[in-house]
Structure 1
Amino acid sequence: MEITISDRRDIKIEAILELYRANEWSSADKPNELYNGLINSHSLFSAWKKDKLIGIGNAISDGYLVVYYPHLLVHPDYQGKGIGQMIMDKMQEKYSHYHMQMLTADGKAIDFYRKAGFKRAGQTEPMWIYKGNEH
């Protein structure tokens, strides 16, 4: 299976929505906000099998010191094949020298991010105001 990781931003909204709906992410219910948020991220990496979008990850950053990874998802049909790690590797190529890399993980994502080198941040407690219900 040949997978290409790209930093292109000419991704059709329909492809993004298909990926998010396949993962049952509530952000798909706000298509314009989701699309604009991804396209205007500091970094955006996507995984492609030929012309099919099968994974995406973005980063929000001040460009110097701090980066936050809000989204990393892979189509369920392609999970467990190293695609998420390929996207995270691209993020690390760009941000590994930053002072602080942050994300929020839950469920199965916790083990994935631990394997990628992330750990619980001291005695912090994740907090949010969230409009979705999938967590």
Structure 2
Amino acid sequence: MITYSQRRDISVEQILPIYELNGWSAAQKPDALRKALINSHSLVSAWNDEQLVGLGNAISDGFLVVYYPHLLVHPDYQQQGIGGKIMELLCKNYEGMHMQMLVAEYETVAFYQKRGFERAGKTEPMWIYAGDDH
């Protein structure tokens, strides 16, 4: 049975497999990754007993804007509703916010549209990025 938590006592050894198996370059910076996650405004994790099988986080000013940078599910647990439940729990923390935003890979656009997200007007995503996975 999958359980969901907002706990922050997650070790880098629990976090890394999900990032590595999903091909995210943040796995190359394990200490910074863990610090970023546990210091996020919100962090929701999914567990199968003591195994971390999914997580998502939010960065927010707490009043107007929230950004959802990470949502990952272990490949063995994908397509089971875990990512959707994590997003539901994260978004519940920010109901009524002026702007909730994220950047979606093309293949995940439909997933986020089901949750009420839509293209942000005529905007274009922009970044200075130190990774190599996009």
Taking the TM superposition and a 5 Å limit, the aligned residue runs for 1:57-68 are 57-68=56-67
Is the aligned partner of 1:53 residue 2:66? Answer: no
Deviations, residues 68-110 of structure 1 (Å, cap 9, x unaligned): 0000010111111100000011012111211100100113221
What's 1:110 paired with? 109
What's 1:77 paired with? 76
Indicate the SS of the match to 2:27: helix
- More deviation, 21-30/107-116: 107-116
Q: Is there any run of 5+ residues in structure 2 with no aligned partner, and where?
A: none
CA distance in 2, matches of 1:113, 1:38: 21
What's 1:132 paired with? 131
| TM-score (normalizing by structure 1) | 0.96
Write out the 4+ residue segments of structure 1 that deviate beyond 3 Å after TM superposition.
none
- More deviation, 78-87/104-113: 104-113
CA distance in 1, matches of 2:91, 2:32: 26
Residue type at the aligned position of 2:114: K
- More deviation, 107-116/5-14: 107-116
Indicate the SS of the match to 1:15: helix
What's 2:9 paired with? 10
| TM-score (normalizing by structure 2) | 0.97
Superposition CA RMSD, Å: 0.8
What's 1:89 paired with? 88
Deviations, residues 29-85 of structure 1 (Å, cap 9, x unaligned): 001110100000000000001110000000000011110000001011111110000
Q: Report % sequence identity.
A: 60
What's 1:26 paired with? 25
Residue type at the aligned position of 2:22: N
Residue type at the aligned position of 1:60: I
